Each structure stands twice: as structure tokens, then as C-alpha cells.
Chains A and B, each alone.
Chain A
Amino acid sequence: MTTALHERAAGRTTAAGARRTGRRRRGRPVVLFLAPFLVPFAALYLAPIGYTVYQSLFRMHRSGLGLTAPTQVFTGLSNYATALGDPDFRSSLLRVLLIGAVQVPLMLLLALGLALLLDARSTLFKRFFRLAFFLPYALPGVVGAIMWSYLVAPGLSPITAAAHHLGLHLDLTSNAMLAPTIGNMLTWGWTGYNMLIIHSALQAIPAELSEAATMDGCSAFGIAWRIKVPLVRPALVLTTVFSIIGTAQLYNEPAILHNVAPNLSSTYTPIYAAYDAVNANNFNAAATESVILALLAFVLSFGFLKLVQRRGAAL
């Protein structure tokens, strides 16, 4: 490979001979400089993906008496049929789809709204608000999740206590409330991050555009809706894709909520289910579920991108 790089580098050189030897010498640095990244990258990104796909095609076979060590048997796609036939895993997939379908739009609308308000010229205390909204992102996700788990835990929760004062019975860890509670944890933790990305895009819009629109009698709301929102479309698409991927990998919040809500099942989300399979020493099932989840995340985020691209072309 080194020689190929040499030849190529040398071949491209059109300058004088002295320069050419200089270039020739430079083929090796490229390989040496990239290797410290590419070798671990291949070992820690590509290899686990390949290994997981491979594992998902096998199953441990134990002999009848269990006297000999279990052997790996190739089973084709049968693990996939098992996983997709498992009602627990299926409902974990449905659950993240549902949480994502409700929470992601709500969060992004909130982030967009806050970003637009912060971007308006007459808004006061911008620095303070930007910091306040972004603070949850600066907190480790685990700390945020522990905090919220106590904020909703029966006995500790000030929210439940306040509802009780008003004569309402509210249990934020009941089965019906688990999904909204997790949705709230995600919204709290990630709105500020998304707002900052959208706000940065808003700041890149030339001020003359809004000024011209104001001259033409456009209201502040009209400017926001007709000029600013279309211009920050790329930022909105990006935050949507990030949020879809983020929801697919949902694990910390439900796992930590489980410590105060034992009714939350240990297969609540797909990653949770894969973790559960790892704990049960069923590596092949864990591998299969990981591959299914990765494919789902890819299809959804890529599908969304294609959808907006097509619509963008139609407009």
C-alpha cells in the first residue's frame, strides 16, 4: 500500500525533479500519520459491527446432557425471526417509536420557539436565558436521570406532593405515566442543546433580511415564520436526525428510572432488552437485537433525510 501511495503522489507531481523527490518522501508520513487513528478505528468501530452481525447468525448449541462445552451453530436468520417474534422485544421497538414520534416534535418545536425568542432583537437578558436553557446539557445525563427519578418517585417527589395538596392523586411512575415521564426527562435534557444549534443558525442570517421585511410591514411573527424558519431548515433537519438517533439508543433514563419504578420492565427499550440478553448470557440474542435496532435507526434517520430532500426539491 505504501508503494501505491508513493507512485500516486509522485505521478501527480508536475513540478521539477527536486520537488518530486520531496513528494516521494511524503508517501510514508501519510500512512504513519493515519495509522494511529485508522487501526483503533477499524478495531473498535468496524470490527465490533462485523463481529455482532456474525454473532447474530449463530446460536449456542448445548448437547443434551450439558457435559460437553456448548458449540456455535450457524442458524442463518433464525435469530432474527426469534427476536422479531418476541413480544417483549417487539413492544420495546414500538415504545421507542412512540416516544420518538411524540417527544421529538414537541422538543424541537420548543427548541425552535425558544431560539426564535432569543434571536428577536428586543429580547432582554439573552445571555442568562441561553445559559439557563443549556445548563441541563452540561449536567451528566446520569445525574439528570437520577435527579428526575427522585423528582417523580412516590414519597420523595415534590410534584406528587404538590398535586396531593390540590387533592389530586398523581403517580408519575405508574405504568401509564412511564412514557410521559421519560419523554419529559429527554425534553429537559436535550432542548437546550437543540436550541443552541438552531440559535447559531439563526444568528448567521443577515440582519438586513429582517430589516427589509419590517420595512415592508411584516410583523415579528411573520418574519420568524416566513423568513427565519425556512432559512434554518438545515439546522432543523440536523437536529431531527440527531434526535431520531438519540431516541433509538434510549437506555440511561429508563434504566435509572427502574430503580424507583420497579414496574418498568427490563426490556423497556431495545438497548435495555439487548443489555438484558447480555446479562442472561444470551450473546446471540443481544447481537441480533443490536443489529435490528441499528438498522431501524439507520432506516428512520436516512428515510427522514430522503423525505425532506424530496420535499425540498418540490418546493
Chain B
Amino acid sequence: MNANSAVRHGLSRWLVLGVLLVASVYFLAPVWWLLVSSTKTNADLFRGNGFWFAHFALLGNVHQVFAQQGGIYWQWLANSALYAVGGAAVSTLIAALAGYTLAKYQFRGREFTFNSVLAAVLVPQPLLAVPLYLMFSGVHLVNTYWAVLLPSMVSPFGVYLARIYAGASVPDEIIEAGRIDGAGEFRIFATIALRVMSPALVTIFLFQFVAIWTNYLLPVLMLANDHLQPVTVGIVGWQAQRGIGPTAVPFNIVITAAAISAIPLVVLFLSLQRFWRSGLVAGSTK
């Protein structure tokens, strides 16, 4: 490499770094603002530098969040946990069973079933939310826990992932060996296949958990009773009450509540990065 091209190479390297730095400021600065703002009093939010700390009032804010409206924030977190853990656990098990069956059994209608699942992966949840609401209000399920839990229990994407993974990682020989030993079909699935498929199960659970925890349109349509609402709907409800009457919720409470509600996801994301990537990559190769 001659001197000239070395200089050019070094220059372009710095240029690339500069572009990437600018981009990361764009993506990180708003989150930084949210974190800084969650440590400010309501009055401080309206003065001074938005991106730097003022009087440190984080603990007071957290206290206010959990005290607001009779401590309903606890209930919202618990509801979100119930919907997300319950829905994700059930949908993961169902998806594992269905995906394993689609991968390991020969039967008529197998391809048709799998193709319907694939088509459903492309149907976006928000497009389904209004139809689900119309149907649920017809059978009086609206405004109950089931209105959010039931739709959370079906994950076509999970079935897709489970089938791909079972097809690639559960050897036919193990299944045959189980049969020769006299194990029933379900027992083979529960004791052998599930264990082999466990990395895929974590990915399915993770994606479904996140989808349910972050869902807004479905619960806001279904749940008028704020004691049934998940945290997303609750916080937006607080945000909407801004400045209206004596029940107005100050900005610092909404901001801190929003920041707290993101913690479980950020923790999941950072601790399970490997599974995030495997799910996204599987999604992109279909």
C-alpha cells in the first residue's frame, strides 16, 4: 500500500466513524433525554438544558409514580406481567407442539396448514385489533382479562420458528428410538423434542413477551376499566389527562412512568441478545 492510499484509507476511516457517531447521537440522544428528564421535578422540565441534569429528583418521581391514583401503577405492571408471561408461555408451548408436528409428521394438509401460518405471520396485529374488538363485543368478552390474554396466546410466527428449528435439530432417529422403547408420542415430544428445541423456545417466548408487553392498540380498544389495563395503556391515559381538571397528571410522573415501564424490556434485550438476533435472522430468511 503506498503512502497516498494509506492517507486516503485513514481519512475514509475517520469519515465513516464520524457518520456512525452522528447516527448514534440521533438514536441515543432522545433516550438520554428521557433518562435525564426522569430525574427532574416538573418545574425543572420547563427550564434549563433538556439534555442535562438539574435538581436530582428521581427517587421523588418514582415515589410519585407509584403513589399516583392510589398506586394503580403497581396494578398496571402486574397486569402487563400477567398478559406477557401468561400469553407468551401458553403461545410458546402451543407453537412448539404445532411446529414440531408440522416438521416431524407426514399428513395430508401439512403444507396447506404451514402456508396458512406463514400468511398469518404477515397479517399485522393492529389490523386485526379492530376486527377482534368487534367480534369480542359480540360475545361479551370486551373489558375482561381474556380479551387481551386470548389473542396473546396465538403466535403464528412462533409456529413458523418452531417448525424450522424442529426440522433442523430434532433427529428422526431419536423419535424412532423413543418409539421402540415404547414411549407415547406426547411423551417423546415432552421429554425429548422440547429439550432439543429449548433455544428456539426461548426465542419464541422472548418475541411474544415483547409483542404483548409493548402492545397498545388491542388493550386500549378492549379495556375501558383501568384496573385491567397494562402499563402501556395506563401511561398513555395519564399523558392524555395533562392539564385537564384536578386529575391532571404532571409531566414528570408520565416521563418517569414511561421510563420505568421500559426497564424489563431493556433488561431482556441486553441479557438475551443472542436470541433476539436468531429470531430476527430467521424472520428475514423466510
A contact set with B: CB distance below 8 Å: 4-5, 8-9, 12, 22, 25-27, 29-30, 32-34, 36-38, 40-41, 44-45, 47-49, 51-52, 55, 110, 114, 117-118, 120, 122-125, 128-129, 132-133, 135-136, 138-144, 146-151, 155-158, 161, 188, 191-193, 196-197, 200-201, 220, 235, 238-239, 241, 245-246, 248-249, 251-252, 255-256, 259-260, 271, 274-275, 278, 283, 286-287, 290, 293-294, 297, 301
Residues of B within 8 A of A38 (CB): 98, 113
Q: Is the interface of A mostly helix, strand, loop or mixed?
A: helix
Minimal beta-carbon separation of A282 from chain B (angstroms)? 11
Question: Within the complex, which residue of B133, B150, B154, B258 is in contact with A146, where a contact is CB–CB below 8 Å?
Answer: B258
Question: Within the complex, which residue of A4, A201, A259 is in contact with B108, where a contact is CB–CB below 8 Å?
Answer: A4
Q: Verify B130–A30 contact, CB threshold 8 A.
A: no
Q: Verify B46–A51 contact, CB threshold 8 A.
A: no
B contact set with A: CB distance below 8 Å: 9, 12-13, 16-17, 19-20, 23-24, 26-28, 30-31, 33-34, 37, 45-46, 49-51, 93-95, 97-98, 100-102, 105-108, 113, 117, 120, 122-135, 137-138, 150-151, 153-154, 156, 159, 179, 185-186, 189, 213-214, 216-217, 221, 232, 235-236, 239-240, 242, 251, 254-255, 258-259, 261-262, 265-266, 269-270, 277, 280-281, 283-284
List 20 interface pairs A-B (beta carbons < 8 Å), by A numbering. A8-B108, A27-B107, A30-B105, A34-B97, A37-B98, A38-B98, A45-B156, A114-B20, A123-B20, A132-B23, A142-B214, A147-B258, A200-B281, A200-B284, A201-B284, A252-B216, A278-B133, A278-B221, A286-B130, A287-B134
Residues of A within 8 A of B151 (CB): 44
Q: Is the interface of B mostly helix, strand, loop or mixed?
A: helix
Q: Which residue of A lies closest to B99 (CB)?
A: A37
Q: Verify A293–B280 contact, CB threshold 8 A.
A: no
Q: Verify B262–A140 contact, CB threshold 8 A.
A: yes
Q: Verify B16–A40 contact, CB threshold 8 A.
A: no
Q: Which 6 A-B pairs have the closest CB atoms?
A: A158-B50, A48-B131, A37-B98, A138-B269, A52-B131, A249-B126
Q: Verify B266–A139 contact, CB threshold 8 A.
A: yes
Q: Which residue of A lies closest to B51 (CB)?
A: A158
Q: Can you add 9 more A-B contacts, CB < 8 Å, to A29-B101, A33-B189, A37-B98?
A: A5-B108, A33-B185, A34-B101, A37-B154, A48-B131, A135-B28, A140-B261, A141-B216, A188-B30
Q: Verify B232–A140 contact, CB threshold 8 A.
A: yes
Separation of A114 and B9 alpha carbons in the complex (Å):
19
Which residue among B117, B134, B259, B281 has the maximum number of chain A CB atoms within 10 Å of its CB? Answer: B134
Question: Within the complex, which residue of B9, B150, B265, B280 is in contact with A40, where a contact is CB–CB below 8 Å?
Answer: B150
